[in-house]
Structure 1
Amino acid sequence: MKSTAKTVLHIFLLMAFTFRTAAQTESKPLTIGSTEQFKSAILAETRTINVYLPEGFNPADTITYPLICIPDGGIEEDFIHITGIVRFNTQPWINRFPKSIVIGIENTNRKRDFTFAVPNLNFLENVGYKKESIPFYGGSPKYILFLEKELLPYIKSKYKATRQRTIIGESLAGLLTTEILLKNPDLFDTYIIISPSLWWGDEKLLKDGGSLLKTNLKKRVRVCVSAPNQEEDKMMYREATSLYDLIKQNPHITSFFDYLPEEWHATVMHMAVYNAFKLLYPKTGY
């Protein structure tokens, strides 16, 4: 009996010591980046910018990194999961593409910022929207200027980003990304365009796309267009394929198309980005 009691006492003391040790274990926040408040004179507002820096980043060294830009880049938007894809693909045992800086721009009014000016909103009724659902629009020229003149130079200077740049946009952000490709293609080298809302402006970007590329595109770029299940929205699928048909004819564009029939407009973003990186960088061990 004494032996049993002694054993029980030892077990109790061991458990108490374990619990006490666990309680004394230090913890610290798990972080994947930083958040900055960027005052834009062009937009006349302060924007929240989320920044992921690659493992081993040291502001004192001379190493530079490619840049990946996410217009829908808030913490509650696409910054965290896309950053996870980037970090995964740049791990040394995968090494699909170089370690990269990721910047996410948190939205304040994406309908305003990601759409270009139109003479009227009559086309909205044809695509199932009410005019009242988009009270502010036409701000994309200012937003693109903000990228070109303010944000991208700032990131390049502060974080030593290279001129190699990728932009990722889905839905209205896909509309914006398409507009940049057609009108300001020198801003980025790689365009990942997912389920773009090309119905805006009665498909004006598709109608003018050929002539815009002929006028503006002077360098080689890479473009991946992705579309979810066509039965969900036949119009958006048709527009995505029309965009691909347009760009694949241009000799300056290396183009890819990715159809994801098991994804919907609301779910396509993550898998489309993952697949796009595989299409753009088909080999590991970069």
Structure 2
Amino acid sequence: MLSSNRLFRVLLFPTVFFACQKQESPSPAAAASNTIEIGVTDSLYSDILGESRTVWVHVPNSAKNSLFGDRSYPVLYLLDGSAHFHSVSGMINQLSTKNGNMIVPEMVVVAILNTNRSRDLTPSHVEVDTYTGDSIQYDSGGGTAFLDFIEKELIPYIEKKYPVTSYRTFVGHSFGGLSVINALISKPDLFNNYIAIDPSLWWDNQTFMRTADSVLSSRSYTGKSLYIGVANTMKDEFTRETVMGDSTRSTLHIRSNLEFANTLEAGLDNGLNFQWKYYEHDTHGSVPLITEYDALRFMFPWYAFKNINQVYDPDSNAEDLLNDIVTHFSKVSEQFGYEVLPPAGMINDIGYTKMRIKKFEDAHLFFDVNIKNYPNISNVYDSKGDCHLAQGDSLKAIKLFTKALEVGPNDYSQPKIDTIKKSMNL
């Protein structure tokens, strides 16, 4: 398969990344062009669809931080990619890293751009428009082939090229929401989480919706999550309750969504982790942003570390805090289905917090955890060396700084060695 990899940027200003007492410089491309890179444009040729497909890919900034080595991330696949890429990648960044947030995990975002939207996102071919009764003037019914493209071509391509894990979330709006429900019933093992934003369940005069109801009631969906956001698309004369008694075509969209959501909420015994919300003050066009926010928080209630305030509390008990962190990430690992170690940056920050208040034994406890978990990362040895240096043990510090350079090159350990040796006349 052919690919291209062009930088996708938004003009802002140069930045510098600081972490754990060490400075990470901006990438050469960013420094030269005065931009912050929020993603790349990539493409692959689909034999299934018979065309080249473009995706925009956002990789978390932490993947570019050499201080803590290579990382892999859960991945979110986003339909109507050009419309939602900026908001979703920004929202995940805000909820996962900013202001000390760990509400959701950092994620790679793969935004799929459209070529023939109606063809790809509808599950069946329809010739008559449900709303007007006229002949449909656009393609339809290619949903199965499109999902096959995602499963058999796009996902393998992304997993080969980008730092992603097998934990996947699928997000779509309108026809995209219809495609998300189609994936839930036709490929339930392809994704862990499904987010359908004001889906077009009126499609084919609700024929697909009836099929989805039937499938959902007959299969087990244990371990899967679905969130549906329903916009207010009815006239002021209706309420959420009274609109269900209407039979005009103008209310078919909201009636279909409310009926589907109510059916699932009524208690289909299928193990599905399900939630939905009616957004009274949002239209079909405005509802994606708030739905994505609520859905992400719904999908990951187990990810946030509840004792986050203790992390930066200098008086917290080190052993109790470490035990809480290890227990938490053990539970996170169970949810993801693979081992998730406590982030090296988080543990390092705690170590330096303890070091600054001269609780050196506590600091070493955390630095040693990082060395155990990340033995192939140079920075974890350098950090422990900093702690020995703060204690006045220059020889142990040199030993750790030297080990850091043996594990991997960096630009901060050797200057420390040179300074110490000069001061000791070595």
The interval holding the TM-score normalised by the smaller chain is 0.7 to 0.9
- Structure 1 outlier segments of 4+, above 4 Å: 58-62, 214-219
Query: Are 1:183 and 1:213, in contact at CA under 8 Å, matched by a contact in 2?
Result: no
Q: 1:134-158: CA deviations, max 9, x gaps?
A: 2x11111110000110101111122
> In the alignment, is residue 46 of structure 1 matched against residue 49 of structure 2?
no
- From 192, 195, 198, give the equivalent of 1:192: 195
- From 131, 135, 144, give the equivalent of 1:131: 135
Distance 1:73 1:26, change over 3 A: closer
> In the alignment, is residue 56 of structure 1 matched against residue 62 of structure 2?
yes
Q: 1:260-283: CA deviations, max 9, x gaps?
A: 111100111111111212233347
Give the structure 2 partner of residue 231 of structure 1.
234
Amino acid in structure 2 at the alignment position of 1:133: Q
Query: Are 1:183 and 1:216, in contact at CA under 8 Å, matched by a contact in 2?
Result: no
Mapping 1:97-116, distance limit 5 Å: 97-116=104-123
In proportion to residue count, which structure has more helix?
2
Distance 1:160 1:31, change over 3 A: closer
Query: Are 1:228 and 1:261, in contact at CA under 8 Å, matched by a contact in 2?
Result: yes
Q: CA RMSD in A?
A: 2.4
Amino acid in structure 1 at the alignment position of 2:109: V
Query: Are 1:69 and 1:165, in contact at CA under 8 Å, matched by a contact in 2?
Result: yes
Deviation at 1:238, TM superposition (A): 1.9
- From 272, 276, 280, give the equivalent of 2:295: 276
Deviation at 1:230, TM superposition (A): 4.5
Deviation at 1:58, TM superposition (A): 4.9
Alpha-carbon distance between aligned partners in 1 of 2:264 and 2:40, rounded to the nearest angstrom: 36
Amino acid in structure 2 at the alignment position of 1:86: I
Amino acid in structure 2 at the alignment position of 1:240: N
- From 271, 278, 281, give the equivalent of 1:262: 281
Deviation at 1:234, TM superposition (A): 3.2
Amino acid in structure 2 at the alignment position of 1:243: F
Mapping 1:59-208, distance limit 5 Å: 61-74=69-82, 77-91=83-97, 93-118=100-125, 120-122=126-128, 124=129, 126-128=130-132, 130-134=134-138, 136-208=139-211
- Three-state SS of the structure 2 residue aligned to 1:235 is helix
Amino acid in structure 1 at the alignment position of 2:185: L
Alpha-carbon distance between aligned partners in 2 of 1:132 and 1:179, rounded to the nearest angstrom: 21
The total of aligned residue pairs comes to: 256
Query: Are 2:220 and 2:270, in contact at CA under 8 Å, matched by a contact in 1?
Result: no
Higher relative contact order (CA 8 A, sep 6+): 1
Give the structure 2 partner of residue 14 of structure 1.
none
Deviation at 1:256, TM superposition (A): 0.6
Distance 1:216 1:36, change over 3 A: farther
Larger Rg: 2
| Structure 2 unaligned residues grouped into runs of 5+ | 1-30, 236-249, 306-426
Amino acid in structure 2 at the alignment position of 1:256: Q
Query: Are 1:185 and 1:216, in contact at CA under 8 Å, matched by a contact in 2?
Result: no
Mapping 1:12-23, distance limit 5 Å: none
Which sits farther off after the overlay, 180-189 or 249-258? 249-258
Scaled by the length of structure 2, the TM-score of the pair is: 0.56
Query: Are 2:233 and 2:251, in contact at CA under 8 Å, matched by a contact in 1?
Result: yes
Alpha-carbon distance between aligned partners in 2 of 1:278 and 1:224, rounded to the nearest angstrom: 10
Give the structure 2 partner of residue 20 of structure 1.
none
Alpha-carbon distance between aligned partners in 1 of 2:144 and 2:40, rounded to the nearest angstrom: 28
